[in-house]
Chains A and B, each alone.
Chain A
Amino acid sequence: MSAVTEAEKILPRTIHVIRQGSDKVFRGILIAGGLAAFVLLSGIFGYLAISAAPVLRAFGLEFFTGSSWYAGDGLLPSEGSIDPPTFGLAPMLWGSLLIAIIAVAIAVPMAIGIALAATYFLPKKLAFAFTVFVDLVAAIPSIVFGLWGFFVLMQHGALWAKWLNTNLGFIPFFQVEFEGFEQSPFMAGLVLAIMITPIIAAVSREIFASVPPELITGAQALGASRWTMIRNVVLPFSKSGITGGAMLGLGRALGETIAVFFVLQLFFDEVNWIRILESTGGSVASLIVSRFGEAQPLEISALFGAGLALFLITLVTNAVATAIVSSTNRAKK
């Protein structure tokens, strides 16, 4: 036993690791590759901030809270403008958020149903084919959804919107100030919902698949039906994972550009808070595409400001989502 007590006094020695030249270079290159994402993200932030600086300096916080987008003569008052421009992003910011929330509200139940089907309801081979199909939908380019929204969904969607307005118009969300149901936040949200359903479904499916099998067999041994098993074991276990997936979908919906561009009527002068069926909406990303072509330098700077806001919002959303998803992943291990 003396050996053990003696050992307690001994301290570990430093292990010198000599690396050969090739390994030093190799590890250096890997570190550079690993940091590429960080460098690019900082670069994006830096360049957008610098390019947006003229407008941010001139308008300050007003740029984010104001409700007007007027290019004027493209000069600031200090530069002797006769027709001074005003840039306020609030209708676009709120609009982006509103349609993203609508999209998530529609997509989450659909994604849960799809993920449940793939994990618990469909036979194995069919489930695999269905999973590949759902993932493939995530790879369909947004321009295709834009075409779909414009040529297919809009006609039908306008009828649904009208029906909602006439029959459920007492609910504030379904009220409109003027009739024009075609390019509304509801429509954009619907398009985005189909686009983000595969993302949320993929995350949910992974979480469902990671429910410890002993919990499931345990529930079955207690005579649980499929519903009681899902209700009492699967959903409680997956709750935060699904939340994370929903936030990933939210981030994607906030940043989507082209699909929204075709199905949303931008309205610059007032925030449309909740009238989701009305053809007046906002979207930061869509604003950038629609104004970019004809903008003068000052408005370009304002569009960079819009891009910066969009970048930061999606970054935060995505970071929170990642943190939630990876913490549940870690918990299950």
Chain B
Amino acid sequence: MSNLLSDTPTQPWKTVDPQYRIQQLGTHLGTPVLALLFTVITPMAGFTGFCVTWLAFHILSAALLAKYGKKQKSLANAFLEVFVGATIFVFVTFVATVLWPVISNGLVGITHLNLLFEDAGKVGADEPLSKGGLGHAIVGTIIMVGIATLISVPIGILAALYVTEVRGKLTPLVRFFVQAMSGVPSIVAGLFIYSALIVSGILQYSGFAGALALSILMLPTVARTAEEILRLIPDDLRTAALALGGTQWRTVRMVVLPAAKSGLITSAILGVARVAGETAPLLLTAFGNNVLNVNPFSESMSALPSYVFTQMLLGGDNDMARAWFATFVLLTTITILFTSARIVADRMKRN
């Protein structure tokens, strides 16, 4: 009886049989060791060979434990767990090999502050890192992404407001076209601006042309995330404002937009993260430049991704080091932007 009145709450369903825990531990530690031994003894090649044998051993042990182990499971259930674990492992490993060279090669450049602030006007092929820099590309990216933001954020929010506020007959069409636009390949956006504005002589290769190409790619991202955010604003607030004699315009301006502010900033940041790394459209519109150009309306302009592209084609060790450093700067910026946007959005969704 005293048990029933016990005042220390427990979660009996969470207790794990120690024997089962040993089994799990054994599998997770034992299989890589076995795989390692196997890879060393037999003529299996390198890390790939290790991974393949590891997976094989894991499947084997899962099968054996499912049959003979404590807490028996069906074979399919055991294989599913191995499958899910393997996909995580493969994906994370691949991504780690994507990020690692950027970090390790990029950090080499970090001691050369001149890289951040100087341009490449007097830098010949394969000159040491102490000379010149990629400041012109950083400035170019800021200018072009900035202009693209000024263009596509207002239009994107208007499109989102059409869907959430007007709710007219065109709503499904508007959503469909925004979605379709998000699938436009970046090179096609570049071709479009090239043909519509550069071939026709309205603009020359310039930062502004680049910014227009970027805003085509940015618009759907902003419109879609802004729409999601505006949907989170309860209809109660709109009705309350209308019942107080608000017109639709004042309802949106004074109630809906202020309530959605942080979310809309998120959508702008996600848009920036989407286009900051775009290379292909810029090659056709802003073209690239070795020197600093702060005028978006005349002369070509460089940007981080197109700088990386041209440095890579040069191919010398120091050219490559510059490319890696530029990539490092780009990737760090995007990671910070993206992560902060996600955290803000998540906080907003929870409220």
Contact = CB atoms under 8 A, between A and B. Distances in A.
Interface of A: 19-20, 22-23, 25-27, 29-38, 40-41, 43-44, 47-48, 50-51, 109-110, 112-114, 116-117, 121, 128, 130, 132-137, 139-148, 150-153, 156, 159-160, 194, 197, 225-228, 230-231, 248, 251-252, 254-258, 262, 285, 288-289, 292, 303-304, 307, 310-311, 314-315, 317-319, 321-322
B334 A31 contact: no
A37 B180 CA distance: 9
Contacts of A147: 101-102, 308, 312, 323-324, 327
A144 B329 CA distance: 12
Contacts, number: 256
A315 B331 contact: no
B63 interface: no
B130 interface: no
Interface residues of B, number: 88
Given A121-B81, A285-B187, A318-B179, A26 B248 contact: yes
Nearest to A258: B279
Contacts of B342: 132, 135-136
A56 B324 CA distance: 41
14 contacts: A27-B166, A37-B178, A44-B188, A113-B87, A136-B342, A137-B95, A141-B279, A143-B330, A152-B98, A227-B77, A257-B279, A289-B280, A318-B180, A319-B180
B102 A37 contact: no
Contact of B191 (A110, A151, A304): A304
Interface stretch (B120-128, B192-200, B290-298): B192-200
A148 B86 CA distance: 22
Contact of A48 (B76, B85, B195, B338): B195
Given A44-B184, A159-B45, 11 more contacts: A23-B248, A34-B163, A37-B219, A47-B196, A141-B278, A144-B327, A156-B48, A228-B74, A255-B188, A257-B185, A304-B191
A32 B170 CA distance: 11
Contacts of A117: 84-85, 87-88
Contacts of B189: 44
Nearest to A130: B88
B168 interface: yes
A258 B180 contact: no
A22 B101 contact: no
A305 B340 CA distance: 41
A110 B45 CA distance: 24
A38 B177 contact: yes
B68 interface: no
Contacts of A29: 158
A121 B185 contact: no
Contacts of A141: 276-279, 305, 330-331, 334
Q: Which of B173, B195, B305, B331 has most A Cβ within 10 Å?
A: B195
Contacts of B157: 33
B48 A142 contact: no
A210 B229 CA distance: 19
A159 B48 contact: yes
Contacts of B170: 31, 34-35
B183 A292 contact: no
Nearest to A134: B91
A26 B191 contact: no
A117 B86 CA distance: 10
Contacts of B57: none
A120 to B, nearest CB: 8
Contacts of B13: none
B180 A36 contact: no
Nearest to A34: B162
B23 interface: no
B101 A314 contact: no
A156 to B, nearest CB: 6
B167 to A, nearest CB: 10
Given A31-B168, A289-B283, A317-B183, A140 B191 contact: no
A130 B158 CA distance: 33
B179 A322 contact: yes
Given A255-B187, A257-B185, A304-B195, A315 B180 contact: yes
B173 A38 contact: yes
A151 B105 CA distance: 12
Given A141-B305, A148-B98, A258-B309, A227 B327 contact: no
A35 B179 CA distance: 13
B174 interface: yes
A140 B312 contact: no
Nearest to B306: A143
Contact of A30 (B86, B161, B192): B161
Contacts of A34: 158-159, 162-163, 166, 170, 174
Contact of B277 (A32, A109, A133, A140): A140
